[in-house]
């Protein structure tokens, strides 16, 4: 295996999203042999409908599914709204999980990180995303990175909080190891 490809999905539609900032940091900090690609299509994913889950799914859904299928691992960064995962992100995960049992997420190593302006860093939303991914068949990593008080900790220009950098590095290392293990088992 030459390079580990991680597809990163920011769960916020906000232009100045703290979660997108975490994924850009992951891109910048990706170690040698790891590439992080940020998927920017969340805004265009329509509401999930079982009536259209097969070949008649909208083009954006096919793009999402193909991007997940082409990646070795998945990294989701979620904000937390009212103690849970944002509807648009959950909607995209529902589309990605179909068709049931043979979707692109089955067996895919997946990590979940979050940033929130609150003290807990989006931990409840993280658990929602982990649960949705696990139930969809993904191989979800245990703990992710939860960045609380993101407005203060991520807004410092030119400086990276050492704790956040170490957390990103750890998640990327775990995903890379899970991908390597997965391919080793398959051969």
What pLDDT score was predicted for residue 147?
93
C-alpha separations of 80 from 16, 119, 128, 150 in Å? 15, 11, 10, 12
Mean per-residue pLDDT for 10-39? Answer: 95
77 burial class (0-12, 13-18, 19+ CB within 10 angstroms)?
A: buried
Question: Could you give phi then psi for residue 143, rounded to 5 degrees?
Answer: -70, 145
Cβ atoms 116, 147 nearer than 8 A? yes
Strands (DSSP E) found in the chain: 4-10, 34-38, 73-78, 109-115, 139-140, 146-147
Closest C-alpha among 52, 48, 26 to residue 37: 26
Cβ atoms 125, 84 nearer than 8 A? yes
**Tens of pLDDT along 129-180?**
999 999 999 999 988 899 989 888 887 766 888 999 999 999 999 999 999 9
35 or 154, which is more confident: 35
Q: Which run of H or E residues covers position 88?
A: helix 87-96
- CATH number for domain 4-186, candidates 3.40.50.1100, 3.40.605.10, 3.40.50.360, 2.60.40.10: 3.40.50.360
What pLDDT score was predicted for residue 3?
93
Indicate the pLDDT class of residue 1, thresholds 50, 70 and 90: low
**Token pair of 131, please?**
């649960």
What pLDDT score was predicted for residue 146?
92
Alpha carbons 161 and 41: distance in angstroms, whole number: 28
**Tens of pLDDT along 37-83?**
999 999 999 999 888 887 888 999 999 999 999 999 999 999 999 99
Asked whether the bond before 99 is cis by omega within 30 degrees of 0, the reply is yes
* Least confident window among 9-13, 117-121, 155-159: 155-159
**Tens of pLDDT along 50-61?**
888 878 889 999
Mean per-residue pLDDT for 122-135? Answer: 95
What pLDDT score was predicted for residue 185?
66
Domain boundaries, the chain: 4-186
Bridge-based pairing of strands 109-115 and 73-78 is: parallel
């Amino acid at each position: 295996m030459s390079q580990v490809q991680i597809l990163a999905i920011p769960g916020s539609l906000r232009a100045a999203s703290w979660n997108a900032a975490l994924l850009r940091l992951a891109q910048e900090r990706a170690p040698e042999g790891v590439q992080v690609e940020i998927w920017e299509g969340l805004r265009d994913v329509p509401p999930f409908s079982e009536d259209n889950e097969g070949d008649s799914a909208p083009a954006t859904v096919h793009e999402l599914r193909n991007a997940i299928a082409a990646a070795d691992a998945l990294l989701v960064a979620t904000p937390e709204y009212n103690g849970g995962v944002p509807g648009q992100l959950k909607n995209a995960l529902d589309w990605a999980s179909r068709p049931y049992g043979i979707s692109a997420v089955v067996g895919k190593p997946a990590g979940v990180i979050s940033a929130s302006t609150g003290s807990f860093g989006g931990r409840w939303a993280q658990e929602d995303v982990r649960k949705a991914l696990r139930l969809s068949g993904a191989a979800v990593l245990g703990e992710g990175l939860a960045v609380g008080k993101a407005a203060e900790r991520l807004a410092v220009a030119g400086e990276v909080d050492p704790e956040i950098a170490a957390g990103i590095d750890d998640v990327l290392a775990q995903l890379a190891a899970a991908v390597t293990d997965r391919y080793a088992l398959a051969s």
